[in-house]
Structure 1
Amino acid sequence: MSARAVHGGLVLPADGRAEPEAVVDTVHGRPVADPYRALEDPESPATLAWLAEREREFAAAAATWPLRSSLASGIRGLVAADLWSPPVRRGGAVFATRRDAGAEHPRLVVLADGAERVLFDPVAFDPSGGTTLDAWEPGPDGALVAVQTSRGGTERGELRVLSAATGLPVEEPVRGVRYTHVAWLPDPASPAFYYVRRDDGDGRRGVWLHRVADARGRDAADVLVQPAGPRSVPGVRLRRGRWLLVSHSHGTGHRNDLWIADLAASAPEAPRLVPVHVGADCESEADVGPDGLLYLRTTLGAARRRLCAADPAEPGTGHWREVVAEDPGATLDGFAVAGAGDGTEVLVTRTRLGISELTAHDPRGIRPPRRVPLPGEGMVTRLEPDEDGSAHFCYADVATQQTVLTCRPGDPEPARWPAAAAPPRPSRVRRRTAWCRSADGTRVPVSVFSLRGFDEPRPTILHAYGGFGRPRQFGFSATVLAWLRAGGRYAVAHVRGGGDSGRDWHLRGARRNKVRAVEDLVAAGDALVAAGHCTRGQLCLSGGSAGGLLVLAAAMARPDLCAAVIASAPLADMVRFERLGLGAMWTAEFGTVADPGDFAALLAYSPYHRALEQGRRDLPAVLLTGFHGDTRTDAAHPRKMCAALQEVNGGARPVLLRYERGVGHGPRAVTRAVDLAADAHAFAAAQTGLSPAR
């Protein structure tokens, strides 16, 4: 046994590489090999020993990358700015989060009587830096605040109710929540709120009512208001202190059910939920405006979404009136109803090929729509109404940090919030839209960014996501800007499967059509080379999560396409994805192995299996990242993919795994985020020949 060691069934040769096992499943009559099944156990001695070897490999390689320290320094400098969230006004106080320049995490602060104080600081709460502030919501009079935290990147958290006066908890935390919505009831004398449970661990999925413990510490048992199925994601909002809105999203197919209840006519523990639409093939998001109307952003009759209004007492689809029509060239992302009376305006944000537009509409149709000017070509997010009649939103672009802006009905342009915040600076980044033609003839847009023009080929990162109907929007990225400043180009392929061109664009790259998204990305890479933006030796594919799946599948289909691939927290084993992480929730997006047709489609592009089936060959350099606390795309995916690629790699370019503990798929401390971004892009620079001198 001097040449190798055996740990729990996984054989480790002397070089620390995993040796394949004879694990074969028979699926719909077809044998499917899974030689690295043992790496699904994250804590087995074999997996730990294997990971230790991968960590040594990565450290040795990273030490040779010339731009690693300069990129880290550049990214760190770019993120060193005060960042605010949009404010929430309650009971004369204003609540917001602020991440100070140089701080690791944002802190929740309260502004009242001209003074600012910290209400919750994740670092003070947990000096290790492993706790993140995931969500928060103040009560109706601002006396209490619900704060959700999680540790180690798991996104499985606790919901604490804090006193806004002292910052101390007033009761034991509510456990088993994950990015929950919190909807406070309007009576501060008897504080209570609705919240949602999304984790399957305790079988308590659904919308719940929680009454805050009284002064003597007594608390009532939480009441299940509406259960949710294992593959439905519940949501809850309470608007105008009266109207309860409950939704169930079904998987990731852009379809939900929606109900409304009038709490003036039913008890909070048993709200009389009236269907808005149930069982319809559409997705709607609802709000109740200051004019008392129910507003709905919906895909019903509009693949790129439209905005409708109805009487909340008669919410069915037969009573809807169109307020803002569908735009055939842009996707309606969000809305907020601001103002009051005749001055009421509906602010609407749309995305057109990654760039946001903001318009204001008269819900009565009397005044013509008006364009709300933005600081540049960027992204609008978190558009929310304020109780003072204004609306707040975040703006960012490729070269501009997130800025909070406030818009009041009739104002010619938005104002900065807070007023002392630095104004956005004009971007010097140039953008071009290129087009490629995919394997089935579909034209796919590709956005290309550069600081140095487009006169010659340059090292280029080509990013894609292509999943869950999410459009690619161009907000601020210190990593991208540092790459551009170093002389590189950055491109985004708006592939099918994403939401860049509406719901139809998503569905044309989902489930059995997912291979179309892969073909779109391959076509985008070929088009960048053909147009002279880069050579093949200067091209690096990059994607995370569902995008990591996409770039790995493209590289397995066309190993000659590029010089390098960055796959961050990717899906890779598409035969077992339903057994790992949140995969069982994603069958509407990818299909299910239980269906023979879906299984055939999954196996056809599954990167893990494509790598194993095609045998030894030259591969592009590959950097996989995995996060031990990842409860979404389980870190078994990058572990198994790394082992498979190292087995079949017949070329000289490296296959590396950068693996982290204490973090997951979601937010992390700034230092860890900077280090991850710098490492990934230093790898890309080393493989594509990028240097500041070029």
Structure 2
Amino acid sequence: MPTAPRPEQRPFVHRHHGDERVDEYAWLRDREDPAVLAHLKAENAHTEESLAHLAGLREELFEEYRSRIKETDEDVPARDGAWEYFTRTQEGKQYPLFVRQPVGDGDSGRDSTGDAGGEEVLLDCNEAAEGTDYFALGAFAVSPSGHLLAYSVDTDGSEEFRMRVKDLRTGEHLPDTISPTGYGAAWSADEGFLFYTTLDPAHRPWKLWRHRLGTDQGEDVLIFTEEDESFYLGISRTRSREWLVLDLHATESSEVHVLPTDDPEGRWRLVAARRPGVEYTLEHHTDRFLFVTNDQGPDFRLAQAPVEDPRPERWTDVIPHQEGVRIVSVDAFTDHLVVALRSDGRTELDVITVADSERRRMVFEEPIYTVDVGTNREFDTTTLRIDYTSLTTPNSVVDVDLATDARRLRKRQPVLNVDLDRYQSTREWATAPDGTKVPISLVWRDDRPEGGPVLLYGYGSYEHSMDPWFSTLRLSLLDRGVAFAIAHVRGGGELGRSWYEHGKRLEKANTFTDFVAAADYLVDNGWTTRDGLAIRGGSAGGLLIGAVLNIRPDLCAAAVAEVPFVDALTTILDPSLPLTVREWDEWGNPVADPQVYAAMKAYAPFDNVSASHYPAIYATAGLNDPRVSYWEPAKWVARLRDRMTGGGPVLLKTELGAGHGGPSGRYDAWRDEAQVHAFVLDQVGLAKTSG
């Protein structure tokens, strides 16, 4: 198997705050060194050889996935002016097609394909991806008239994009090419200008540009530069189409500038200057701006101010701050406002009638579910499209009459050859060492043997909530007797802002002990056994997995860590790396604060690998990953093999042509998931194939 530091390389010694840390694998950071690529290729070969006995199971799983999925399918069209827009997948094709049809042309409620008169394919991503191993869209913006499409493409996973403009009347591309860009783009009302962002050397969106259609990129006008490395810059347009929004946001602070879409060369207006600890987002509704802000409490309020004078001192309550009820966002329509919030660990939607300020909450039958505002392109409408799912309910698109609450199921994700009534879910509560109750969501098939295997998933960072979701691919685990569980640990946002605050910086250890408590609960209460427990997490959730394994190497039989942020202290100490300065709001600044340094050193997975018996571990990386550098999992795996006293295997799979999200094509992604599922099933003793 791949081994060890290169003999000609001396270990690198990190020195901070009077402390020394030895890194014998620092040479893996030099991606220009041919030995590094050779090492990663050798790791891939070793992983493939180690899992060769699972080839039949992997293929069986892949075919199971396909058998349940309607491969030629399309989503529900969403109206935007004279057109209805939707995407379509085709059997055998990796990527979707972006399509539109005139309003009223064909059955807009259909959920299968068919040639509708007047239908147009705006972009066939399969054609656009020809000749590349990776493909992702960064922007997809149709101009106000519907005549032009601006879209951008990433072909290596680096999240740097090349933007083109297509004339939808002729199907031809205009000469305009803009590269590289960040995510997103926005049109002016007259379609004469495009606004876009570019990245700094640390991969941070930091400049806003104005491009005049028909001119060379070298003539583009720089509108704004964000010098503060903790802030990101984004560009969007309000649903009303009246305002362009320049959003500047750090983890704990915000600033917004606006410009009328019909005055693209005008002067941008500052709405509210950034203040430390104060966050806000902006939505437009007729003569007022709406703000979701934490200026009066950690769980945010909904405020409003006149468009002509939106200074913070003019902000008045629409919904005042209420502790424990986290207001997440607001969507504005002509006669209604829709407020997304979190209460009692659930996602909720409230509807406010503009005329009389009446407020009501949408009610759903299942006790555990996830609901969110779906694709709603039009401002002047009384129909709200929502997305609904649960651990046992496939992804569903529902249209809601905002005046009456009458609902129409427009589409439920087709799941073929499956009796969905056989799957059950529940919510349990574990107790953390400090007495905090930690929710666990579980799903299983009704004939699962008592005490069978469990795959426990976790994340717990950035206030990102791991709300229950349905997975067609997951059914292959459930059908083999494996239950799936989500540990809703602190650091996420499931139980409001305080749930996040008590899982970050100097309290980050709560994330890990919450997860351990959830795992122990599942074993102690008969859901599974130690030999039947597998754990999984990705990115910051991969840091969670790595930290948990150091705390409790005996916790489980198997662990999956996808693009794991396992060399966290080294990365957060290096301001030159992408994202680092912004990350100080999340983790603390170990460069300046010895207390933060000590806290991170105590949990950083790479720094705390010990001479212990570790479970089987499957780790992944992306060579072009701009978020978690490939060398973090590569170094972690090498140190594990060097120091562990038994257990394993410890395997690494690096995508050599992709980034943070892994393979981009859907079939490639399914095969990737089959590899993970086969690994888990093998380690919990369920690797038999039906053949």
Seen in structure 2, the aligned counterparts of structure 1 residues 593 and 82 have a Cα distance that, compared at 3 Å, is farther
1:249 alignment partner AA: H
Output aligned runs, 1:351-390, within 5 Å.
351-352=342-343, 355-371=346-362, 377-380=369-372, 382=374, 384-389=376-381, 390=383
Query: SS at 2:15's partner residue?
Result: strand
Q: 2:512 aligns with which of 518, 533, 536?
A: 518
Q: 1:413 aligns with which of 399, 406, 416?
A: 406
| 1:434-464 CA distance string (max 9 Å, x none) | 2222222222111122122787211111111
Query: SS at 1:482's partner residue?
Result: helix
| 1:189-234 CA distance string (max 9 Å, x none) | xx21322224436998222222211xxx667822222211333111
| 1:314-367 CA distance string (max 9 Å, x none) | 2123322333355655543333223x3xxx111223345765333322235443
Question: 1:74 — aligned with what?
Answer: 64
Whether the aligned pair in 2 keeps the contact of 1:398 and 1:481 (CA below 8 Å) is no
Instruction: Kindly report the root-mean-square deviation, in angstroms, between the aligned alpha carbons of the 2 structures.
Output: 3.0
For residue 139 of structure 1, report the CA deviation from its aligned partner. 0.7
Residue 592 of structure 1 pairs with residue 589 of structure 2? yes
Query: SS at 1:64's partner residue?
Result: helix
Question: 2:341 — aligned with what?
Answer: 350
Whether the aligned pair in 1 keeps the contact of 2:505 and 2:596 (CA below 8 Å) is yes
Seen in structure 2, the aligned counterparts of structure 1 residues 223 and 204 have a Cα distance that, compared at 3 Å, is farther
For residue 600 of structure 1, report the CA deviation from its aligned partner. 1.1
Question: 1:334 — aligned with what?
Answer: 329
Query: SS at 1:357's partner residue?
Result: strand
TM-score scaled by structure 1? 0.88
Q: 2:130 aligns with which of 127, 132, 140?
A: 127
Mean alpha-carbon deviation: is it higher for 432-441 or for 543-552?
432-441
Seen in structure 2, the aligned counterparts of structure 1 residues 368 and 403 have a Cα distance that, compared at 3 Å, is closer
1:542 alignment partner AA: R
Q: 1:111 aligns with which of 101, 108, 114?
A: 101
Whether the aligned pair in 1 keeps the contact of 2:177 and 2:217 (CA below 8 Å) is no
Question: 2:37 — aligned with what?
Answer: 48
What is the alpha-carbon distance in structure 2 between the residues aligned to residue 396 and residue 56 of structure 1? 39
Mean alpha-carbon deviation: is it higher for 525-534 or for 272-281?
272-281
What is the alpha-carbon distance in structure 2 between the residues aligned to residue 539 and residue 46 of structure 1? 37
Question: 2:243 — aligned with what?
Answer: 243
Whether the aligned pair in 2 keeps the contact of 1:351 and 1:473 (CA below 8 Å) is no
Seen in structure 2, the aligned counterparts of structure 1 residues 203 and 45 have a Cα distance that, compared at 3 Å, is closer
For residue 488 of structure 1, report the CA deviation from its aligned partner. 0.6
| 1:501-539 CA distance string (max 9 Å, x none) | 222211211122211111111111111111111111111
Seen in structure 2, the aligned counterparts of structure 1 residues 77 and 219 have a Cα distance that, compared at 3 Å, is same
Residue 433 of structure 1 pairs with residue 427 of structure 2? yes
Query: SS at 2:291's partner residue?
Result: strand
Question: 1:17 — aligned with what?
Answer: 3
For residue 553 of structure 1, report the CA deviation from its aligned partner. 0.5
Whether the aligned pair in 2 keeps the contact of 1:360 and 1:372 (CA below 8 Å) is no
Query: SS at 1:630's partner residue?
Result: coil
What is the alpha-carbon distance in structure 2 between the residues aligned to residue 428 and residue 345 of structure 1? 39
Q: 1:92 aligns with which of 74, 82, 87?
A: 82
For residue 420 of structure 1, report the CA deviation from its aligned partner. 12
Query: SS at 1:577's partner residue?
Result: helix
Unaligned stretches of 5+ residues in structure 2 = 106-117
Q: 1:665 aligns with which of 656, 660, 668?
A: 660
What is the alpha-carbon distance in structure 1 between the residues aligned to residue 216 and residue 578 of structure 2? 37
What is the alpha-carbon distance in structure 2 between the residues aligned to residue 120 and residue 467 of structure 1? 35
What is the alpha-carbon distance in structure 2 between the residues aligned to residue 641 and residue 245 of structure 1? 41
Question: 1:185 — aligned with what?
Answer: 188
Residue 619 of structure 1 pairs with residue 614 of structure 2? yes
For residue 631 of structure 1, report the CA deviation from its aligned partner. 1.2
Whether the aligned pair in 2 keeps the contact of 1:569 and 1:626 (CA below 8 Å) is yes
Seen in structure 2, the aligned counterparts of structure 1 residues 691 and 315 have a Cα distance that, compared at 3 Å, is same
Residue 63 of structure 1 pairs with residue 52 of structure 2? yes
Query: SS at 1:314's partner residue?
Result: coil
Mean alpha-carbon deviation: is it higher for 348-357 or for 485-494?
348-357
What is the alpha-carbon distance in structure 2 between the residues aligned to residue 353 and residue 539 of structure 1? 28
Whether the aligned pair in 1 keeps the contact of 2:622 and 2:660 (CA below 8 Å) is yes
1:196 alignment partner AA: T
Seen in structure 2, the aligned counterparts of structure 1 residues 693 and 91 have a Cα distance that, compared at 3 Å, is closer
Unaligned stretches of 5+ residues in structure 1 = 1-14
| 1:644-672 CA distance string (max 9 Å, x none) | 11111221420001122222113710122
Mean alpha-carbon deviation: is it higher for 294-303 or for 430-439?
294-303
What is the alpha-carbon distance in structure 1 between the residues aligned to residue 619 and residue 217 of structure 2? 47
Query: SS at 1:505's partner residue?
Result: helix
Query: SS at 1:209's partner residue?
Result: strand
Query: SS at 2:646's partner residue?
Result: coil
Whether the aligned pair in 1 keeps the contact of 2:237 and 2:243 (CA below 8 Å) is yes
1:545 alignment partner AA: S
Query: SS at 1:506's partner residue?
Result: helix
What is the alpha-carbon distance in structure 1 between the residues aligned to residue 194 and residue 232 of structure 2? 18
Question: 1:6 — aligned with what?
Answer: none
Seen in structure 2, the aligned counterparts of structure 1 residues 381 and 464 have a Cα distance that, compared at 3 Å, is farther
For residue 583 of structure 1, report the CA deviation from its aligned partner. 3.3
What is the alpha-carbon distance in structure 2 between the residues aligned to residue 643 and residue 51 of structure 1? 11
What is the alpha-carbon distance in structure 2 between the residues aligned to residue 48 and residue 419 of structure 1? 44
Seen in structure 2, the aligned counterparts of structure 1 residues 256 and 420 have a Cα distance that, compared at 3 Å, is closer
Query: SS at 1:248's partner residue?
Result: strand
Query: SS at 1:197's partner residue?
Result: strand
2:457 alignment partner AA: H
Q: 1:259 aligns with which of 240, 254, 257?
A: 257
What is the alpha-carbon distance in structure 1 between the residues aligned to residue 52 and residue 205 of structure 2? 48
2:372 alignment partner AA: V
Whether the aligned pair in 2 keeps the contact of 1:572 and 1:606 (CA below 8 Å) is yes
What is the alpha-carbon distance in structure 1 between the residues aligned to residue 545 and residue 642 of structure 2? 19
Mean alpha-carbon deviation: is it higher for 651-660 or for 415-424?
415-424
1:675 alignment partner AA: R
2:480 alignment partner AA: A
What is the alpha-carbon distance in structure 1 between the residues aligned to residue 203 and residue 564 of structure 2? 27
For residue 107 of structure 1, report the CA deviation from its aligned partner. 1.8
What is the alpha-carbon distance in structure 2 between the residues aligned to residue 366 and residue 232 of structure 1? 35
Whether the aligned pair in 2 keeps the contact of 1:79 and 1:478 (CA below 8 Å) is yes
Query: SS at 2:313's partner residue?
Result: helix
What is the alpha-carbon distance in structure 2 between the residues aligned to residue 574 and residue 419 of structure 1? 40
Seen in structure 2, the aligned counterparts of structure 1 residues 156 and 202 have a Cα distance that, compared at 3 Å, is closer
Residue 137 of structure 1 pairs with residue 135 of structure 2? no
Whether the aligned pair in 1 keeps the contact of 2:189 and 2:261 (CA below 8 Å) is no
Whether the aligned pair in 1 keeps the contact of 2:447 and 2:481 (CA below 8 Å) is no
| 1:233-273 CA distance string (max 9 Å, x none) | 112233334333222111xx243122334567xx5334241
Seen in structure 2, the aligned counterparts of structure 1 residues 99 and 485 have a Cα distance that, compared at 3 Å, is same
What is the alpha-carbon distance in structure 2 between the residues aligned to residue 202 and residue 450 of structure 1? 41
TM-score scaled by structure 2? 0.88
Residue 442 of structure 1 pairs with residue 472 of structure 2? no
Identity of aligned pairs, percent? 27
Q: 2:292 aligns with which of 275, 297, 304?
A: 297
Mean alpha-carbon deviation: is it higher for 385-394 or for 159-168?
385-394
Whether the aligned pair in 1 keeps the contact of 2:204 and 2:578 (CA below 8 Å) is no
Residue 233 of structure 1 pairs with residue 232 of structure 2? yes
What is the alpha-carbon distance in structure 1 between the residues aligned to residue 299 and residue 379 of structure 2? 29
Residue 465 of structure 1 pairs with residue 463 of structure 2? no
Q: 1:162 aligns with which of 163, 166, 178?
A: 166
Question: 1:9 — aligned with what?
Answer: none
Question: 2:220 — aligned with what?
Answer: 222
